[in-house]
């Protein structure tokens, strides 16, 4: 079957006419910088003063990009997606904000996610950010090779133990575990912990996936290095490939601290390395599994073509595609309809605490060139198609 991302009948088959119109209104609003820049702040203020707006938020932007406030509430969406050939990745999207209490709360929530995912085909993966279960500052000091104070050593040991606990639980429950990439100045510490767990738990099946941000320079060399180490020490390795999420922050910090910007010089360089990374992972598929975490149509077509041209089953568990819930349904549903493995990141959490996540989604749709316009044009096309049938 030839992949055709313009097939809006398939892309929006999960949405009623009313839901489609609601999505159209939301993406249309996200085209306005005033709403994107000040809307989340206003909503946060209204929630703080207990203005009765939670219900409106939940029925609009929250409903567009999140599954629910709890794991249980999100299951209705996961079940619906599963029936349409798409799996879900429960993503507890509450910001830790560097507080010890919040990191413990997140750690406990992640245990619930991994236990919920056990034996449920709707949830083949779980995901977390290392800074969500420990102090960002400690990971930064460790990455900078600074001498840790006794208190920092204790906190770092706690992060290592928590990540190992989650990896072991994922292994026991047979749930693949994605560890997200973060800012460059904590990533070395995260990588070191993740790859140690990969060496421990990826002996037979690939359970632990590290995330590679291809908008960073030097990531191709890093992927090749890790594959060589996996071969040398006889374990397997999983990569989630993304373009990246911290470009502006990285550039500002590099300028302020007078070190070379770690971000690629152009989007073309990022695209080149992303697609090259896909090819490298595919060529090393005897020990590598890859998740293409991308909303880029060309990259999705590349991996799909590699699978098909080499007569590999589209349902081969070594190859996955992933997009965010509420975005790029034309990619997700058409890939799934063609028989490929597809998962949607399904964020959840209390409305008030998920607002920072929703703010980032709004900014992403506004800043990524053509994202909102693309979503709008496809929704408009499907609305017209349905009208013509009436």
- Spell out the domain ranges in the chain: 69-352
pLDDT by position in tens, the chain (length 390): 578 899 999 999 999 999 999 999 988 887 777 776 666 667 777 777 777 778 888 888 889 999 999 999 999 999 999 999 999 999 998 865 556 668 999 999 999 999 999 989 999 999 999 999 999 999 999 999 999 999 999 999 999 999 999 999 999 999 999 999 999 999 999 999 999 999 999 999 999 999 999 999 999 999 999 999 999 999 999 999 999 988 889 999 999 999 999 999 999 999 999 999 999 999 999 999 999 999 999 999 999 999 999 999 999 999 999 999 999 999 999 999 999 999 999 999 998 888 887 777 666 655 555 567 888 999 999 999 999 997
Q: What is the dihedral of CA 133, 137, 142, 148, to 10 degrees?
A: -110
> CATH fold of 69-352, please?
TIM Barrel (3.20.20)
> What's the rounded Cα separation, in Å, for the pair 180 and 149?
26
User: Tokens in use for 301?
Assistant: 């077509």
Q: Within the chain, where are the H helices?
A: 8-11, 17-29, 33-48, 54-57, 63-65, 71-83, 100-117, 136-143, 150-173, 184-201, 219-232, 247-256, 267-283, 297-309, 329-337, 351-367, 371-389
- Pick from 14, 121, 157, 98: nearest CA to 341: 121
Vertex 336 angle, CA 68 and 314, to 5°: 135
375: Cβ contacts below 8 Å, ≥ 6 apart: 23, 27, 327, 328, 365
User: Distance between CA 293 and CA 296 in Å, rounded?
Assistant: 9
Cα torsion 65, 68, 70, 76: sign? negative
Instruction: Record the pTM.
Output: 0.94
């Amino acid at each position: 079957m030839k992949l055709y991302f313009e097939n809006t009948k398939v892309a929006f088959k999960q949405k009623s006419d009313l839901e489609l119109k609601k999505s159209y209104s939301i993406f249309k609003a996200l085209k306005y910088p005033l709403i994107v820049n000040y809307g989340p702040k206003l909503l946060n203020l209204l929630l703080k003063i207990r203005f009765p707006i939670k219900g409106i938020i939940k029925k609009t932007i929250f409903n567009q990009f999140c599954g629910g406030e709890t794991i249980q509430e999100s299951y209705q969406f996961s079940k619906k997606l599963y029936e349409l050939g798409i799996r879900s990745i429960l993503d507890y999207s509450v910001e830790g904000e560097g507080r010890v209490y919040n990191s413990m709360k997140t750690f406990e929530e992640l245990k619930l996610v991994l236990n919920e995912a056990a034996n449920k085909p709707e949830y083949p993966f779980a995901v977390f950010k290392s800074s969500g279960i420990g102090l960002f500052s400690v990971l930064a000091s460790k990455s900078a090779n600074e001498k840790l104070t006794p208190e920092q050593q204790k906190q770092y040991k706690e992060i290592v133990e928590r990540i190992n606990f989650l990896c072991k639980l994922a292994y026991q429950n047979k749930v693949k575990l994605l560890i997200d990439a973060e800012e460059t100045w904590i990533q070395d510490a995260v990588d070191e912990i993740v790859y140690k767990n990969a060496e421990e738990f990826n002996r037979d099946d690939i359970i632990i996936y590290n995330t590679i941000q291809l908008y960073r320079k030097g990531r191709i060399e890093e992927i090749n290095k890790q594959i060589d180490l996996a071969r040398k020490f006889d374990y397997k390795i999983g990569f989630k490939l993304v373009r990246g999420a911290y470009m502006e922050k990285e550039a500002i910090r590099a300028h302020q601290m007078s070190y070379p910007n770690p971000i690629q010089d152009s989007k073309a360089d990022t695209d080149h390395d992303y697609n090259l990374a896909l090819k490298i992972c595919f060529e090393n598929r005897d020990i590598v599994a890859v998740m293409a975490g991308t909303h880029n149509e060309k990259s999705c077509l590349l991996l799909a073509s590699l699978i098909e041209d080499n007569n590999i089953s589209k349902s081969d568990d070594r190859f996955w595609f992933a997009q965010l819930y509420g975005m790029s349904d034309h990619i997700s549903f058409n890939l799934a309809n063609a028989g490929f493995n597809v998962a949607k990141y399904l964020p959840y959490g209390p409305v008030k605490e998920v607002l920072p996540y929703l703010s980032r989604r709004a900014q992403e749709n506004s800043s990524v060139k053509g994202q909102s316009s693309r979503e709008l044009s496809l929704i408009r096309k499907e609305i017209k198609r349905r009208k013509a049938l009436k």
